[in-house]
Amino acid sequence: MLKKAIIGTAIFTAAALPAAAQDAYVIGLTGALTGPPAGTYAPGVDAMRIYFDRLNKAGGVNGKQIKLVIQDDSAEPGKAAANAKKLVAQDNALLVINTSLSSTYAPVIGETKRAGVPLLFANAVCPKEVNPPAEPLQFCSTAFAATYDSRASLAFIKETAKEAVNLGLVAMAIPVSRGEIDFADTQTGALGFKTVAKEIIPPPTPDYAPFATKIKDAGANWVFSWAPWITQVRSVEALRRLGWTGDFVTWAHLEAESELVRLKDPKLFVVGANALFQDGLPIHKEIEAAAKEGGSQYPANQMAEGWIAAQVIEAALKSAGWPATPQKVADALASVKVDTKGLRGGPIEWTKENHFRTKQYYRVYRWDPTKNAIVVAKDWYSYDVK
Amino acid sequence: MSRHPPRASGYFRTSYAQDHALIQTRLEWLATAALAVALCGVPLIASPFLLDLATQVLLAIVGALALALLTGYAGQISLGHAGLLAAGAFTVGILFKEFNAPFWISLPAAAVTGAALGVVFGLPSLRLRGLYLAVSTLALHFVVVYLGGEYESKRGFSTGIMIDPPSLLGVSITSGRAWYLVMLGAAVVALLLAANILRSHTGRAWRAVHANETVAGALGINVAAAKLGAFVITSSMTAVAGGLFAYHRGFVSVEAFSLYLSIQYIAMIIIGGMGSLLGAVLGAIFVTLFPYAIEALVGMLPGSQRYAGSLFAVNYAAFGVVMILFLIFEPLGLVGIWRRLQSFFLLWPFKQRPVGGGRK
Amino acid sequence: MQLIVNILVLAAIYALISCGYVLVYRVSRVLNLAHGELMMLGGYMLIVTAATISSNPIAAIAGALVLSLMVGGLVYVFLMRKMTGEMVLAAVLATVALGILLRGLVILFWSAQIQYPAQTLALSNPTLNLPGGASISFYSAMLIVATVVVYSTLFAFLRFGSWGIRMRAAGQSPLLAAQRGINLHGVYALAWGLSTLTGSLAGILIALDSGLSQTIVMIGLKAFPAALVGGLDSLVGALAGSLIVAAAEVLMIHYVDPLLADVVPFLVLIGMLVVRPWGLFGTREALDRV
């Protein structure tokens, strides 16, 4: 009986939803809102929800409301596939957003491609398909991106290091992170670095000391890590506990700002593309106020990523006009130019060929014990994306 | 365990052939025909999303039937179900990427891989029982997933292996309807296979081994062969299901085959009802649809969008709660409810079965 | 030297977690797959007590441990008691369901963010330098101390304590134990409580050392092979198993390939299952069917 009731409700909701969704821009999102890696992704999703709520209250885009349909995939590819199917087939989403682990990309790309719906990676690592020559329907607004991040980080090491660099590399045992660290490894020779250790750490690791011991014993004086935050931060903590005094360069994930304050480690450098909230720009104040009003579980200083994605979507919908089709939205995204108001080093600009951004800006932060605050270790520098 | 007899009024079977027939009465023929028509009619009326759900359910039924045969009938616990699905999916993925193999090569290849792995998974069963066996299959699961992950990284498919849809007679199977029919076919084949195994010597041997190994051996059943056979056959079925999953979703990646997936399949056969094919089918339907149903129900509550952030945590927790309630209050599973309903109507206006009656 | 310290720390983590598996299995023959979640819950209990009872670390930790003892007892009374007499697999599945429920609740109440109870309690984590050039963090050292204390207390308790003897009796033969007037439900509830308590202690120390998030659950699962290698119904076995698995893992990371670290515990386990299925120190028993 229960089963029949359930099927009944499923049919009922299936029948009820599309009818209600006619008079708004429908944006679908599949994200890791539960499951182990949720901490990295959920704040970004919340930021987008808050942004669109505010936008709707202010009248929406082109006089129409934006309906954000959020689906949880628990970072599981099977669930992401079903979500993508639902978003394109039932909700008739104009655009699908993926905010989840890279393992969910393949099924979501497959579903959206078949349906001809544009796909935006937001607050999730950019796949190489968005770099020129870009896949027509894939876009990425996320700060972190394969190869450019390693180049920027290694360039920073090259510039800062006073003596010969013995580099340790740390990745998490997930394909994206491994791939990036392998790429970094190929770059070290040309820069005159020596790779002394390359540790690939499985995700459920109770104690990082064995890995740290290996890096320390190998004589690394610089370590570069590009992995989910937990692996990065626990590696540096484990190294410090072993008495290692070298410099650690790593990617500035959402958590970076509060973590720099917590660790107070002057030789931990975070390379990132987003301005941290301690800069106190007007846009930062705005996000803080919105997060408070929107009742978020997450601190405002983790919302820059989601905010930027929402800015991009707003701009694209505005130029796509009403009524919009997935194709119109895709065309609009392919020529979007968004002023991030200081959240990034420069605007996000997409062309037909380039769905990543024409110029990728980086900034390096660290903790300064004398000032007792986070300081900029290297101001905006950029790479042309070709 | 016993199938219900032809009529409530008595036990009329006079030969083994009658006893073994899958469909025994005219009413059953009618019901089967109606069900067949209904199932084939689904794609014509269902929305694409519902059709996708139905396809998922059918695929889950194939896997659940395999596990029901292994655990419910042959009595061998396995926590390595996801590993076997992964093995099938990776066979398809690797053959596609390396040799561009069409599905009529890669799916049988998946079956062969599954059978081979079945031997490996089954070998510990000759020595181990119960939980220890479960854990050894779990260990093998991790080995399979590790190998798959290594293949992915070494070949640079960092976000999973993408697979083109299979094509039959030059037409590629992409539409939801086509996939529904493919999976329906697979589920029916799996069901017939399972039912036929169970009414043959093999199936009876499995049940005997399940009930008591020593006695089974004394009856002249080769216990080791029966156990290994159970592992080989069901693993092969599972691997094919994994291959179908790969084709249906168009990708393979190790993350899709977590331990949680194995647990879901075990939940299917337990919630459905152990030792019953109908139970496996009902369990597969229930476990697959349940999260969506919860989501729909919670989503209908007023103001749910405002709590969107915590909504999914509620869904997640609710899944746990319902599973617990089910285990506590309905230990016989969905099939238990079904049988109670059946008896209720059959026996009405009485409540109890007659003592010493023809029904067992 | 550092290698030995690393092995000991990892072994202590595994041992402290796996004694929870052993306690429950030994007494009630149920495999508790929600142990990782209960362990995580212990960490979150610390956050609760730190915020409500006292910001004094010792009081907060003690409060969290008492709470987790109660949680364990309640889990038995409200869930596992109803599962007595069911198939083993159904009972195991019930613990899985409990785990799913707990994970959902944790996200609901505390969000998916990493929490740092050490920061809330204003605790620092100094590094202790050991002879031989090795070093160890304070909480890792505490983990080893806690493991030693917990195991010696448990040994003494099971050997000499009257409830301990009852627990052993209930584990050996529930029927005879019940006939001798032992309150089986009380014993089972106690076993669940103690198992949750020790798990929580591990969870709390790990949380203080390196933060608290959902990933801690996976650590709980990783300790499982250790319990099995030693024999699921033996505390000595859990200790030995943890040491073996931890040594294999650390040496593998150091000398072969860190990627194998994930698989090694299970390879050790397969080896053990082939040779001695009931584990190093486990009792050889006729295991029940499904």
Q: Do C254 and A210 touch (CB under 8 A)?
A: yes
Set of chain A residues whose Cβ sits within 8 Å of the Cβ of B300? 9, 13
Q: Do A36 and C253 touch (CB under 8 A)?
A: no
Q: Do C267 and B128 touch (CB under 8 A)?
A: no
Neighbours of chain C (3+ CB pairs under 8 A): A, B
User: Region B96-102: what's the mean pLDDT?
Assistant: 87
Residue A198: strand pairing partners: A169
In a domain, B214, yes or no: yes
Cα B223 to Cα B231: distance, rounded to the nearest angstrom: 13
**Residue A236 or residue B291, greater confidence:** A236
Set of chain A residues whose Cβ sits within 8 Å of the Cβ of C211? 230, 233-234
CA distances from C70 to C60, C63, C65 (A): 15, 11, 9
In a domain, B61, yes or no: yes
Residues 6+ apart with CB under 8 A from A367: A260, A261, A263, A264, A265, A266, A268, A373, A374, A375
CB A306 within 8 A of CB A48: yes
Q: Which residues of A touch C (CB under 8 A)?
A: 33-36, 38-39, 42-43, 173, 199-211, 213-214, 217, 229-230, 233-234, 237, 240-243, 255, 262, 297-299
By the CB < 8 Å criterion, does B344 face chain C? no
Rg (CA), chain A: 21
The minimal CB distance from B320 to the residues C86, C98, C277 is found for: C98
Closest chain A residue by Cα to residue C255: A214
Shortest distance, CA C275 to any CA of chain B (angstroms): 10
Please check the confidence at residue B7 and state whether its pLDDT lies above 80. Answer: no
In a domain, B301, yes or no: yes
pLDDT of residue C88: 76
Give the domains, in start order, of chain A with CATH numbers.
2-143+280-360 (3.40.50.2300), 148-277+362-384 (3.40.50.2300)
Set of chain C residues whose Cβ sits within 8 Å of the Cβ of B128? 273, 277, 287
Please check the confidence at residue A320 and state whether its pLDDT lies above 80. Answer: yes
Q: Which pLDDT tens digit goes with each residue over C157-193?
A: 988 988 888 888 888 888 888 888 888 899 999 999 9
pLDDT averaged over chain A? 86
In a domain, B205, yes or no: yes
Set of chain A residues whose Cβ sits within 8 Å of the Cβ of C105? none
The minimal CB distance from B313 to the residues C97, C104, C286 is found for: C104
Residue C127: strand pairing partners: C137
User: Region B48-69: what's the mean pLDDT?
Assistant: 91
Residues 6+ apart with CB under 8 A from A342: A275, A279, A281, A282, A283
Pairs across B and C, CB distance < 8 A: 134
Query: Into how many domains does chain B fold?
Result: 1
Q: Which pLDDT tens digit goes with each residue over C99-157?
A: 989 988 888 888 777 888 888 788 877 888 887 778 888 888 999 999 999 999 999 99
pLDDT band with cut points at 50, 70 and 90 for residue A7: very low
Give whichever of A306-315, B8-17, B32-41, C206-215 has the largest mean pLDDT: A306-315
Closest chain A residue by Cα to residue B317: A34
In a domain, B58, yes or no: yes
Cα C245 to Cα B276: distance, rounded to the nearest angstrom: 39
pLDDT band with cut points at 50, 70 and 90 for residue A106: confident
pLDDT band with cut points at 50, 70 and 90 for residue B310: low
Please check the confidence at residue B292 and state whether its pLDDT lies above 90. Answer: no
Q: Do A109 and B162 touch (CB under 8 A)?
A: yes
Q: Which pLDDT tens digit goes with each residue over C33-44?
A: 899 999 999 999
Domain containing residue B178: CATH number: 1.10.3470
pLDDT of residue A3: 44
Task: Output the furthest CA–CA distance in chain C (Å, rounded).
Answer: 58
Rg (CA), chain C: 19
User: Region A117-138: what's the mean pLDDT?
Assistant: 87
Set of chain B residues whose Cβ sits within 8 Å of the Cβ of A2? 286
Count of C-beta atoms within a 10 Å radius of residue B348: 9
pLDDT of residue B355: 60
pLDDT of residue A167: 93
pTM more than 0.90: no
Give the angle subtended at the CA of C209 by the CAs of C204 and C211, to the nearest 5°. 75
Structure tokens at B5: 């007899």
Q: Which pLDDT tens digit goes with each residue over A337-361?
A: 888 888 888 888 888 888 888 888 9
Q: Do B251 and A78 touch (CB under 8 A)?
A: no
pLDDT band with cut points at 50, 70 and 90 for residue B28: confident
pLDDT band with cut points at 50, 70 and 90 for residue B353: low
The minimal CB distance from C107 to the residues B129, B263, B313 is found for: B313
CA distances from B197 to B22, B65, B113 (A): 12, 12, 21
Closest chain B residue by Cα to residue A126: B159
Set of chain A residues whose Cβ sits within 8 Å of the Cβ of C129? 243
Q: Do A210 and C6 touch (CB under 8 A)?
A: yes
CB B43 within 8 A of CB B181: yes
User: Region C75-83: what's the mean pLDDT?
Assistant: 88
Set of chain A residues whose Cβ sits within 8 Å of the Cβ of C99? none
User: Region A147-152: what's the mean pLDDT?
Assistant: 89
Structure tokens at A281: 């720009």
In a domain, B189, yes or no: yes
Cα B78 to Cα C288: distance, rounded to the nearest angstrom: 15
Interface test with B, best of C22, C29, C44, C100 (most B CBs within 10 A): C100
In a domain, B358, yes or no: no
Structure tokens at B118: 């079945």
Count of C-beta atoms within a 10 Å radius of residue C205: 26
pLDDT averaged over chain B? 83
CB B235 within 8 A of CB B258: no
Cα A54 to Cα A127: distance, rounded to the nearest angstrom: 30
User: Region C259-286: what's the mean pLDDT?
Assistant: 76
Residue B119: strand pairing partners: none
Q: Do A34 and C113 touch (CB under 8 A)?
A: no
Please check the confidence at residue B335 and state whether its pLDDT lies above 50. Answer: yes
Closest chain B residue by Cα to residue A75: B255
By the CB < 8 Å criterion, does C178 face chain B? no
Three-state SS string over chain A comes to: CHHHHHHHHHHHHHHHHHHHCCCEEEEEEEECCCCCCHHHHHHHHHHHHHHHHHHHHCCCECCEEEEEEEEECCCCHHHHHHHHHHHHHCCCCCEEEEECCHHHHHHHHHHHHHHCCCEEECCCCECHHHCCCCCCCEEECCCCECCHHHHHHHHHHHHHCCCCCEEEEEEECCHHHHHHHHHHHHHHHHHCCEEEEEEEECCCCCCCHHHHHHHHHCCCCEEEECCCHHHHHHHHHHHHHCCCCCEEEEECCCCHHHHHHHHCCCCEEEEECECCHHHCCHHHHHHHHHHHHHCCCCCHHHCHHHHHHHHHHHHHHHHHCCCCCHHHHHHHHCCCEECCCCCECCCEECCCCCCCCCEEEEEEEEEECCCCEEEEEEEEEEEECC
DSSP C177-191: HHHTT--HHHHHHHH
pLDDT of residue C55: 75
The minimal CB distance from B152 to the residues A13, A82, A175 is found for: A175
Pick the range with the lowest mean pLDDT from B103-117, C142-156, C255-269: C255-269
Set of chain B residues whose Cβ sits within 8 Å of the Cβ of C269? 135-136, 139
The minimal CB distance from C101 to the residues B135, B310, B321 is found for: B321
Range of the domain at B163: 28-347
Q: Do C219 and A204 touch (CB under 8 A)?
A: yes
Give the angle subtended at the CA of C12 by the CAs of C7 and C15, to the nearest 5°. 120
pLDDT of residue A17: 45
Give percent of chain A with pLDDT exceeding 70.
94
Please check the confidence at residue C201 and state whether its pLDDT lies above 90. Answer: yes
Q: Which pLDDT tens digit goes with each residue over A28-87?
A: 999 988 877 788 888 899 899 999 989 999 988 888 899 988 888 888 888 888 889 889
Give percent of chain C with pLDDT exceeding 70.
98
pLDDT of residue A18: 43
Q: Do B293 and A42 touch (CB under 8 A)?
A: no
CA distances from A250 to A255, B180, B348, C239 (A): 12, 47, 73, 37
Structure tokens at B359: 């029904």
Q: What is the DSSP letter of C260?
A: G
pLDDT of residue A301: 86
Cα B117 to Cα B123: distance, rounded to the nearest angstrom: 10
Pick the range with the lowest mean pLDDT from A147-151, A223-227, B183-187: A147-151
Helix (H, G, I), strand (E, B) or coil at C277: coil
User: Region B209-214: what's the mean pLDDT?
Assistant: 88
Q: Do C287 and B130 touch (CB under 8 A)?
A: yes
Shortest distance, CA B284 to any CA of chain C (angstroms): 16
Q: Do B320 and C102 touch (CB under 8 A)?
A: yes
Cα C195 to Cα C30: distance, rounded to the nearest angstrom: 12
Rg (CA), chain B: 22
In a domain, B294, yes or no: yes
